[in-house]
Amino acid sequence: MKKTAFLFPGQGSQYVGMGKELYESSSDAKELLDRADMVLGFSLTDLMFNGPEEKLKQTEHAQPALLAASIIAWKELDKQGVTADYTAGHSLGEYSAAVASGVLSFEDAVQAVHQRGLFMEEAVPAGKGAMAAIMGMEREALEQVTRSVTTGSVELANINAPGQIVISGDKEAVEEAGEAAKEQGAKKVIPLSVSGPFHSKGMEPAKNKLAGVLDGIVFTEAQIPLVSNVTAEPVRDKEQIKSQLIEQVTSPVLWEDSMKKLIEEGTVTFIEVGPGKVLSGLMRRIQRRGLDVMAAEDTETINKAAESWKGEV
């Protein structure tokens, strides 16, 4: 039987204006975004719709904004009867996946990722950490490069797709690793515009603080298996999901492995739910043929995805 996965985007997919069309056309979307504003104590909705972009890009704002924009899109798919056999989310997107899988309430998830963003911002002093995307180099070779760095700590942070891996760590170490990667055949090294070395040892203070926040939240067993960033394995157990969300802060995002696991499990339809098409692009790099990859963000793309999905089931 053909299976479906909902994929939820992570930080970097945000843009000014996201979610506005659904807010104006759907009473459910309006209610959810209004609830997010109330829970957070500031107008996330205004920031999502009107910016400024620099403020929206700040980790503490981008994370709840992306979660909210993703969940209102998922709710519209759900209303049309579109269901999934699995959920997965890239880094922050794992919280959106947890909501869609029934593990977390929307309100708890919005608050948690706002706190997560703040903790990640505070973990490393500005300018001390960095991240860079390394294009055209395989995982094992890049891992050897990071181990040979002498100017500090640098690790593989996001294993996104073949030939697309993000490294993270001390600023000088990331720069040294980038230069060494180029010398060893990497096609391109792209420094990322981020506020810290996410998914690295440097995030240990954020991980510890987040554990305290998640301990105060009710987790329930997943109704739909959630594929963990940390293990690339489907999980239903609530305690396991909670511990992996904590672990995820300092662990690499095994996105390529997660998508391969879903394909192995018989998943052929992948619906990216929320802003942008980053995950759709990665999916096409992971496997080019035999899959139906769609993006569902606004009324038009949600209707199109629902129609296509119903035609396949």
Which residues does the annotation mark as catalytic? Answer: 91, 199
Q: Where are the beta strands (DSSP E) in the chain?
A: 3-8, 86-89, 129-135, 154-161, 164-170, 188-191, 226-227, 234-235, 267-273, 292-296
With beta carbons less than 8 A apart as the criterion, state whether 92 and 14 touch.
no
Phi-psi region of 229 (alpha: psi -120 to 50; beta: other; left: phi over 0): alpha
Q: Rounded to whole angstroms, what are the CA distances from 199 to 207, 240, 245?
A: 10, 19, 12
In terms of C-beta density within 10 A (0-12 exposed, 13-18 middle, 19 or more buried), how is residue 145 classed? buried
Contacts of 212 (CB under 8 A, 6+ apart): none
Cα angle, residue 98 at apex, residues 85 and 247 outer, rounded to 5°: 115
* Distance of alpha carbon 33 from alpha carbon 70, whole angstroms: 11
